[in-house]
Structure 1
Amino acid sequence: MRPYPSWELEKGLFGKPVVGVDEVGRGAVAGPLLVCAVRFHSSPEVKWRDSKQMSPLQRKSVFANIVESSCFGIGLAAPWDIDRFGISFCLKQAAEEALAEIPLDDAIVVFDGKRPLTTEVPDYQCMVKGDVLLPSVAAASVVAKVIRDELMVCLDSLLPGYEFSAHKGYGTKTHLEAIRCFGITAQHRRSFLRRVLEQALF
């Protein structure tokens, strides 16, 4: 198992407060896209990793500690907006919505990955594996994942049969079979499904 993300590395690299930004749901075929921005006001002991390296129970166990030690913002893009405007535009809008809830004047925004979700911020940097190395970016990935997963559980209760609580809107075999049986809902991204359904079902 990799070591936990490091405050020492984060502070040593940037020398100023960091606002970590990450997204979840980019590749799903149903449900919202969600972007989270996190800025810590203290340096709690890091017991979290990139959300993909944690189980649902582990993510929930550290969620309260993260949100109590930080201010965070959330941006959402609905499936119908993704179909209408495209994923790139929606990522930018959701990132700006999340960042609007965070004080940025003396901080640097660090985006996970090679490209910024938006450049409409005073100071930013991109970092490959930022969610693995930096506590603030890893925390953003955890908060984003926990909140989106809970939203998908709620959708499961509203749209029984699709098993959203299990696959969280991703294009699993079970999900695609449910679409074939019950049809496409308003929570599905038709622009994503077109190609997936052609390949998997037809």
Structure 2
Amino acid sequence: MANVSLPYDAKAGPTKPEVRAVLLSKLDLDPTDHFVEVGSCTGAVTIEAARRAGRVTALERKSERIETTKKNLTANDVTANVNLREAEAPEGLPEDADVLFIGGSRNYEAVLDTAVETDVDRVVMNVSRLEVAGAATEAFRERDLLEEVIQFQVSHGYELAGATSFDSENPVYMLVGGTGEVATDGGRR
């Protein structure tokens, strides 16, 4: 996984590198995909997707975060076809998305409805709050989108009194699914 530089901050914090590694595996992007991100924030996921997908659309409802995404795209020399839209989803979602990442919990049910209506092949949502994770899991199930739920936590080691201790990040719940057929390897296509 190529390094992502995020010199510009959006105060909400980017999706951590370890989480992006799992996310990219689940998104399974290829050069024919139109990837859509809801909630671009710093642009960390948008940058990673632009290196893999043929087209990228990133929605962000806050203008200052759109500017942060633009600056971080430039800082990473991303020249791929990236369309940034200042919009609150589901407004602004393209109808031809192949892969959808929901990076925030605002309006996720309406976004999932749109994903079903437009037949999005692969849908992944990251959640950091337990209550939202439970509700989002049910929302995925109700729409027959749910393939799996993953919960993981990342801890980073640091020196403490001549030994190694760990500082842990908040747990992340990742919901994975979509409208596509489940392939023999467990993925969707």
TM-score by length of 2: 0.29
Higher strand share: 2
Higher helix share: 1
Rg (Cα) greater in structure: 1
Greater relative CO, 1 or 2 (CA 8 Å, sep 6+): 1
